[in-house]
Every structure is written in structure tokens, then in C-alpha cells.
């Protein structure tokens, strides 16, 4: 349960947080207001460790902690059974929360709902309320601008499903233990699970893709389509590299086949240093660029990088499909993933590994059309229906070192074919050779 001092410290920041949502004064008996509170409670309950809904604070008076609840509203929100019943009309299964009406240091009174993380089943809306709630929708708190809205992306859905899986595993182990089933033979985590844990840790606090800063060349109000890449040396070894060597190691192996390196490292902006990894977020203020990278002692490299066509207008790359929300250039996918494969090869030659696993996601691609330039026309339209395309490839170390560009083409095929485009490997090999050389 959140302490009063901690609540006031969060309010003093003057804006909502992912784990804190405020609502102005209102009564439980006001159905529209109760529906908005139910939406916030559902979203907080679908967040790992839950969150807080504070009632009585206006959106534009958060730092002032005003105006507070009057006596009628305090009485309304002080009855747990009444509040629980009002919220249960909309939430399935019924949400679990603690409820207090407290007096803040400025004398204002607020109702505080400490919402618990869901127990076994994700909270789902079971009743529509016009313009507020939709029957069957699953509400979450977004990572960027804090909002309680239906699941907006594949990444947010994966986070919610991962939480559900984690809870399911814990419940299974609890029941198995209670039934006397021996669990000592439970196999150790797989390398993929260990690498996934690192990735979850790396992006847990978000990145520039969740909330681009004002003053950069990226429009914060327009969703960005971006690559989400993982390079994973196998077998998994948590401390394959020393923490103090990470920056120099990745700097020396950065790939600069087109001038702009993969990854881009700007020592002037400072490097984030964590327990087992380093990283940096890069926002273009003078040139259009957006990326975030992370590098672990295990040798795992992660990068999120915006597609070129979202950062600048290219005269020879235009959409022809009616209703397309944007474009993805064939050459952008191909050339970037060849660079990613080359980086994997450089890691391979420096680390004692058996193979490298590549995992590539193209996030926010829904509604975008795959296009080419005038020299290599393609005849579509090829428009993405899914919000994300993914591919995975494991390459033996010797094969990757000797043929990194073929590995890059294989990765590109794994994404481009999801659009419906089928082109022979040799066409892509020739295309990248024109840019990178033989």
C-alpha cells in the first residue's frame, strides 16, 4: 500500500505516471465517472505490481494537489462495498484493491485506490459504457504518455501476456507443491528465456521510442515504425564479458558500412551503466535519427531503430496504395539487416560462441506499404495488416563469419516476405553489393 508521503511526492511531479492516475472530484453514483474510474482500475490491475488511482485531484492541478473531495464525495468513496460493487459492473474478474480516504498535507481530501496486479486472469471489460468502455476490451497503462487505453501495440500485448504466463507458472508450481508433486527435476531456464529476461530488464523503463523529447526532429504525436533487434551469442553465458570492457568492446566492433554506425555511440551524451549492461538513447536534434541500444555482459546486443522513411521524406519512395498510413522501403530493411548480420559476425570472431541467434521485429508497421525506388520497381500493393512482423534466425559461428551478407539477406527475407514480396536472394545480394561493395 502506497504511503502518504510517497503519494504526495508523485503528485508533486505535476503529471501522471505509469503507476499513478488521477481523477477529479466525483461520486460513485455518477455512472459516467464510475466507468472512467473502472477503466483506470482495470489498466492498473493489468500492470505488473499494480498501481494507484487517486480520486479528487484535477488533471491541471496535480502539483497543487487540488481541489480535493467534499464531504459528500468522501462519504461516497469511503464505503468499500459500494465502490467494489460499482466497479464490478464493468470488470471481469472483479478487481482487487485497497481503499482509503486520506487528508493530504494541504488539507485536501482524496480517495486512494491501491489496485493489485491481477491474480490469475487478466482484467477484461465486461460492459460497454458509451465513449468510455468497450465490452471485451483489455485496458493497459501505456509506457510513453501514461494513459488507460485498450492494448495499443504488439509490444504492450506481449508484456501483458508475459505477466499472465509468469503468474500461471507460479500458480502451477504452488498447486503442484501442495499436491506433493516433486519439482526438483524442473529443467533450468532455456537460453532464449535467459536472453528474454535481459531484454525485459533493458526496456523496462522505456526508451526514446516511448516518449521522444521535445525539440528533436521526431514528431512525438506520430507513431514511429521501428526495428527491434536482438543479437544473441550461444550458448548463454551471463558474464562472458567484464562490465568495465563493454563500452570499448562494442565501440571497436560498431559497423559503419554506410557512414552512420550500428550502433551509434555518442560519448558526449553519457552512457547509461547498469548492473550487467550499458546503453544509450539517441535522438536527432540536427539530423533525423532515432535509436536506442543496449549491450550486456552476456554479449547480447539489443537495438531499436526508426525506419528511414519515418524520419525524412524521400523523393523516390512514395505510397501508391489507397489508405496506406506510411511506407517501408525495401532497401532500408535489406541494408540495415545486412549491417546487423555483420555486427553479429564481428561479435562471433571476438567471443567463444557456437552460433548467433538473431531476432528481428518490425514494430508499428500496420497499414504501411512496402515500396521500392524507381530503379527496382515492385508491383504490389504490399500493405501490412499486422502491427508487427517478426523473424528469427540461428547461424553457426563459422557460417556467419564467412557469409554475413547471406545471413543479412535471410533476415531481410524473413521480414519482406511477410508483406507478400517474393524476390530471389541473388537480387538482394546484388542490391546490397552495389551499396556496400563486393
Co-location of 223 and 342 in the same domain: yes
Co-location of 148 and 213 in the same domain: no
Mean pLDDT for all residues in the chain: 89
> 286: which residues sit within 8 A by CB, 6+ positions away?
217
Q: Is 248 exposed, middle or buried (0-12, 13-18, 19+ CB in 10 A)?
A: exposed
Co-location of 231 and 312 in the same domain: yes
Reference 42, options 107, 133, 170; nearest CA is: 133
How many residues are there in the chain? 438
Provide the domain limits for residue 121.
Answer: 4-155
Task: Answer for the pair 35, 88: CB distance below 8 angstroms, yes or no.
Answer: no
Is a pLDDT exceeding 60 seen at residue 214? Answer: no
Q: How far apart are CA 216 and CA 354, in angstroms?
A: 41
Q: What is the DSSP string of 177-233?
A: HHTT---TTPPPPPHHHHHHHHHHHHHTT--TTTSPPTTSSS-TTSPPPEEEEEEEE
Co-location of 119 and 16 in the same domain: yes
Left if phi > 0, otherwise alpha if psi is -120 to 50, otherwise beta: which for 146?
A: beta
Co-location of 207 and 79 in the same domain: no
Co-location of 129 and 214 in the same domain: no
Averaged over 133-157, what is the pLDDT? Answer: 88
180 located within any domain: no
195 located within any domain: no
404-416 vs 425-436: helix crossing angle, rounded to 10: 120
pLDDT of residue 221: 64
Percent above pLDDT 70 for the chain: 92
CA 425, 427, 433, 438 dihedral sign is positive
pLDDT tens for 389-420 read: 999 999 999 999 999 999 999 999 999 999 99
Averaged over 236-259, what is the pLDDT? Answer: 92
190 located within any domain: no
Co-location of 33 and 118 in the same domain: yes
192 located within any domain: no
Co-location of 425 and 346 in the same domain: yes
Reference 392, options 239, 231, 281, 157; nearest CA is: 231
CA 264, 268, 270, 276 dihedral sign is positive
pLDDT of residue 427: 93
pLDDT tens for 261-273 read: 899 898 777 899 9
Q: What is the DSSP letter of 367?
A: T
Co-location of 323 and 382 in the same domain: yes
130 located within any domain: yes
- Domain-terminating residue out of 124, 155, 186: 155
Strand-strand pairing, 382-383 and 368-371: antiparallel
237 located within any domain: yes
pLDDT of residue 212: 63
Task: Answer for the pair 84, 124: CB distance below 8 angstroms, yes or no.
Answer: no
Reference 294, options 263, 258, 268, 267; nearest CA is: 263
Co-location of 412 and 309 in the same domain: yes
Reference 122, options 172, 162, 62; nearest CA is: 162
Is a pLDDT exceeding 70 seen at residue 374? Answer: no
Q: How far apart are CA 430 and CA 279, in angstroms?
A: 34
Q: What is the DSSP letter of 61?
A: G
164 located within any domain: no
Element (H, E) at 303: strand 301-306
Is a pLDDT exceeding 90 seen at residue 134? Answer: yes
pLDDT tens for 25-61 read: 999 999 999 999 999 999 999 988 889 999 999 999 9
Co-location of 286 and 141 in the same domain: no
pLDDT tens for 278-322 read: 999 988 666 677 899 999 999 999 999 999 888 877 766 777 788
226 located within any domain: yes
Strand-strand pairing, 226-234 and 272-273: unpaired
Indicate the number of domains in the chain: 2
pLDDT of residue 173: 65
pLDDT tens for 10-19 read: 898 898 988 8
Co-location of 313 and 225 in the same domain: yes
> 51: which residues sit within 8 A by CB, 6+ positions away?
18, 19, 20, 21, 43, 44, 115, 141
Q: How far apart are CA 426 and CA 414, in angstroms?
A: 15
Strand-strand pairing, 20-23 and 51-55: parallel
- Domain-terminating residue out of 127, 155, 183: 155
- Domain-terminating residue out of 95, 121, 155: 155
Which SS3 state, helix, strand or coil, does residue 153 take? coil
CATH of the domain at 75: 3.30.950.30
pLDDT of residue 395: 96
Amino acid at each position: 500500500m502506497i504511503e502518504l508521503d510517497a503519494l504526495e511526492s508523485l503528485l508533486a511531479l505535476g503529471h501522471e505516471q505509469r503507476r499513478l492516475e488521477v481523477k477529479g472530484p466525483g461520486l460513485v453514483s455518477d455512472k459516467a465517472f464510475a466507468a472512467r474510474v473502472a477503466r483506470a482500475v482495470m489498466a492498473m490491475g493489468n500492470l505488473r505490481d499494480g498501481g494507484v488511482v487517486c480520486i479528487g485531484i484535477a488533471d491541471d492541478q496535480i502539483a497543487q494537489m487540488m481541489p480535493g473531495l467534499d464531504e459528500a464525495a468522501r462519504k461516497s468513496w469511503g464505503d468499500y462495498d459500494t465502490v467494489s460493487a460499482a466497479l464490478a459492473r464493468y470488470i471481469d474478474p472483479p478487481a482487487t484493491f485497497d481503499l482509503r480516504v486520506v487528508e493530504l498535507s494541504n488539507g485536501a481530501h482524496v480517495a486512494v485506490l491501491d489496485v493489485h496486479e491481477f491474480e490469475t486472469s487478466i482484467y477484461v471489460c465486461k460492459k460497454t459504457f458509451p465513449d468510455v468502455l468497450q465490452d471485451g476490451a483489455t485496458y493497459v497503462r501505456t509506457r510513453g504518455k501514461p494513459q488507460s487505453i485498450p492494448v495499443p501495440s504488439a509490444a504492450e500485448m506481449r508484456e501483458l501476456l508475459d505477466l499472465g504466463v509468469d503468474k500461471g507458472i507460479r500458480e502451477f508450481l504452488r498447486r503442484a507443491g501442495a499436491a506433493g508433486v516433486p519439482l526438483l527435476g524442473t529443467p533450468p531456464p532455456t537460453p532464449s528465456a535467459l536472453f528474454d529476461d535481459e531484454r525485459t530488464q533493458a526496456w523496462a523503463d522505456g526508451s526514446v521510442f516511448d516518449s521522444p523529447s521535445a525539440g528533436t526532429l521526431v514528431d512525438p504525436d506520430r507513431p514511429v515504425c521501428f526495428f527491434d533487434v536482438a543479437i544473441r551469442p550461444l550458448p548463454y553465458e551471463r558474464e562472458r564479458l567484464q562490465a568495465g570492457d563493454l563500452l570499448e568492446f562494442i565501440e571497436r566492433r560498431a559497423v559503419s558500412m554506410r557512414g552512420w554506425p550500428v550502433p551509434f555511440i555518442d560519448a558526449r551524451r553519457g552512457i547509461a551503466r547498469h548492473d550487467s549492461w550499458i546503453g544509450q538513447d539517441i535522438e536527432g536534434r540536427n539530423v533525423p535519427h532515432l535509436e536506442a541500444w543496449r549491450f550486456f555482459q552476456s554479449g547480447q546486443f539489443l537495438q531499436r531503430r526508426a525506419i528511414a522513411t519515418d524520419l525524412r521524406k524521400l523523393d523516390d519512395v512514395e505510397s501508391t496504395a489507397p489508405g496506406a498510413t506510411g511506407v517501408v522501403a525495401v532497401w532500408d530493411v535489406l541494408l540495415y539487416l545486412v549491417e546487423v548480420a555483420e555486427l553479429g559476425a564481428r561479435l562471433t570472431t571476438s567471443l567463444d560462441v557456437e552460433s548467433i541467434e538473431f531476432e528481428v521485429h518490425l514494430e508499428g508497421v500496420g497499414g504501411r506499404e512496402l515500396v521500392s525506388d524507381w530503379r527496382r520497381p515492385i508491383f504490389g500493393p504490399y500493405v501490412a495488416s499486422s502491427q508487427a512482423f517478426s523473424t528469427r534466425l540461428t547461424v553457426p559461428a563459422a557460417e556467419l563469419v564467412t557469409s554475413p551478407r547471406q545471413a543479412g539477406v535471410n533476415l531481410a527475407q524473413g521480414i519482406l516476405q511477410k508483406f507478400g514480396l517474393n524476390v530471389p536472394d541473388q537480387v538482394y545480394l546484388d542490391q546490397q553489393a552495389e551499396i556496400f561493395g563486393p
